[in-house]
Structure 1
Amino acid sequence: MTTVVEYSGSGDPARSLALMWRTAERPSRGAKPALTVARIVRAAIDVADGEGLVALSMRRVADQLGVGTMSLYTHVPGKGELLDLMLDTVYGETERPDMDGRPWRERLDQVARANLALYSRHPWLLHVATTRPPLGPNLIAKYDYELRAVADAGLAEIEMDAVLSLVLQYVHGAARVSVEKSQAERQTGMTDNDWWMAHQPFLAKIGDAAKYPLATAVGSAAGAAFDGTIDPGFAFEFGLSRLLDGIEVFVNRSADHPSRPGP
């Protein structure tokens, strides 16, 4: 599947915000079932889920809905605003169980897994740059909920934001590895194990274990353990545990030195 990078916040901010907060809904006219912002956004998400962002266009979404392209512009001014709406809509999907009575580490673990599941359902999210996030109701509710994971950990407000960002950035990278592995297998028709076995005979002939002892030993052990180059599930679990270990050290240090300057 061809990939493309899109940027949130590329549309008219005022119009995106009005649409996300549903202050600019227009009634639909005609004999066809009512065309609404929600229907348009749902169709766009379906296109992106099935065909990737490279296929996303106002015309393709109109085809998905069985309407003329110009009818979409009555409700959504363009692709930039549509992408913001798509993002805010899927941000409303993450699971948000009650956090009361649970330790902060368990809460952060749950936040990480909920976001990994979101990327798994909507791999196109990995190809949207969100340094200018769509400030819709679902994103703000998601941010508020996820901050509660560390609300009682004794951190300053900027530290709470930084810890959450650290976890979410880790999940983004881990999800990319998992999605790319799945896509590589679909596009090539070759599993990681197939790929590894195809390379083994040649590597056995040219490999120099004496020159590269660590690469030989560790690479062979990993290949045997994972039937390929990497197991995204193992990598996610290992990395998340080590990340939370590091955050725990930071939280404990914050408790011991609450007035320390800087990071």
Structure 2
Amino acid sequence: MTTEYSGTGDPARSLALLWRTREPATRRGRTDLTVDRIVRAAIELADTEGLAALSMRRVAERLSVGTMSLYTHVPGKGELLDLMLDTVYAETTEPPPAAADGWRARLEAVARDNWALYLRHPWLLQVATTRPPLGPNLIARYERDLRAVDGIGLTDLEMDAVITLVGGFVHGTVRGAVEAAQAAERTGMTEEQWWRAHAPYLEKAMDPRRFPLATRVGAAAGEEYQAAADPARAFEFGLARILDGIEVLVRHRPGATGTDTDR
């Protein structure tokens, strides 16, 4: 699987493009070609063909322009990738549920919103963002996420850590859902069909005396999931446990009373 890295472009040029502080280029030729059109075409390409297909040449072909025309607006692939990320982050800047719903509902909404974002844009899983694109939509997303846990008794560092924890959990669990969907598309076989084809042979080959726990638990899980795993169920179970753990942290703060809906 292709792995790309955000934050590899020229810092000054990337930030100028992300925050749109750069003066638009003036040149002869296509006047309808803009940064936004280029970024949207790149996102559509990655959505339909995967991140491995992304190149300045392929984006230019999608826009029916010469490759050099793109460089007038975007210096290179590194800056383009940062722009793509910040653009799709705008899809997750809606405010969480009202304060009356409590921090738990707000944080759950953040997690589900991010889960849905990865399903819409699976290529996000192939981008390492330890050096994130510091654009307006990423900052707005961070602000939105922090509001979910603001005022519940956590320190600033703990608030950041909670958001990082939830984001990392979603990133890890949604990968299984994306890979399952891609496997079904590329093989023409659903998870249930795959499981039914393999389970009978596994039962014959595996000695339950050697693997008693794997036999018992695996059989129960396979019967329930009709697959080797159920990413959506893992997400639901894990999210609830993470929220439970955060609730313990909040409740042990001095002066903490009542349920999370009181905060």
Q: Give the shorter-chain TM-score range.
A: over 0.9
Once the 2 structures are TM-superposed, how far is the Cα of residue 29 of structure 1 from its aligned partner? 4.5
CA contact (8 A) 2:86 2:135 kept: yes
Once the 2 structures are TM-superposed, how far is the Cα of residue 201 of structure 1 from its aligned partner? 2.7
Where 1:198 maps in the other structure, the secondary structure is: helix
Taking the TM superposition and a 5 Å limit, the aligned residue runs for 1:40-189 are 40-94=38-92, 95-97=94-96, 99-189=98-188
Once the 2 structures are TM-superposed, how far is the Cα of residue 194 of structure 1 from its aligned partner? 1.9
Q: Hey, what's the Cα distance between the residues in 2 that align with 1:100 and 1:206? A: 55
Where 2:98 maps in the other structure, the secondary structure is: coil
Q: Hey, what's the Cα distance between the residues in 2 that align with 1:42 and 1:32? A: 17
Q: Hey, what's the Cα distance between the residues in 2 that align with 1:31 and 1:13? A: 28
Aligned residues: 255
Higher mean alpha-carbon deviation, 45-54 vs 32-41, is at: 32-41
Q: Deviations over 1:106-125 (max 9, x none)?
A: 10000000100110110000
Where 2:100 maps in the other structure, the secondary structure is: coil
Q: Deviations over 1:97-143 (max 9, x none)?
A: 45332311110000000100110110000010000010000000110
Which residue identity is paired with 2:46? A
Q: Hey, what's the Cα distance between the residues in 1 that align with 2:66 and 2:80? A: 16
Residue in 1 aligned with 2:18?
20
Q: Deviations over 1:159-217 (max 9, x none)?
A: 00000100000000111110011111111222222222222232222221122111111
Q: Hey, what's the Cα distance between the residues in 1 that align with 2:162 and 2:88? A: 23
Residue in 1 aligned with 2:211?
212
CA contact (8 A) 2:96 2:106 kept: no
Which residue identity is paired with 1:116? W
Q: Deviations over 1:221-254 (max 9, x none)?
A: 1111011111221111111001101111111123
Indicate the RMSD between aligned Cα atoms, in angstroms. 1.5
Q: Hey, what's the Cα distance between the residues in 2 that align with 1:204 and 1:42? A: 49
Which residue identity is paired with 1:195? W
Q: Hey, what's the Cα distance between the residues in 1 that align with 2:254 and 2:41? A: 48
Structure 2: unaligned runs, 5 residues or longer = 257-263
CA contact (8 A) 2:114 2:167 kept: yes
Q: Does 1:195 align with 2:194?
A: yes
Structure 1: unaligned runs, 5 residues or longer = 258-263
CA contact (8 A) 2:96 2:110 kept: no
With normalisation by structure 1, the TM-score equals 0.93
Which residue identity is paired with 1:178? A
Once the 2 structures are TM-superposed, how far is the Cα of residue 33 of structure 1 from its aligned partner? 5.0
Residue in 2 aligned with 1:10?
8
With normalisation by structure 2, the TM-score equals 0.93
What percent identity do the matched residue pairs reach? 63
Which residue identity is paired with 1:46? E
Structure-2 change in CA distance of 1:88 and 1:158 (3 Å): same
1:36 to 34, 37, 45: 34
Which residue identity is paired with 1:19? L
Q: Hey, what's the Cα distance between the residues in 2 that align with 1:246 and 1:98? A: 21
CA contact (8 A) 1:28 1:34 kept: no
CA contact (8 A) 2:119 2:178 kept: yes
Structure-2 change in CA distance of 1:43 and 1:28 (3 Å): farther
Q: Deviations over 1:64-88 (max 9, x none)?
A: 1110000000000000000000000
Residue in 2 aligned with 1:261?
none
Q: Hey, what's the Cα distance between the residues in 1 that align with 2:151 and 2:184? A: 43
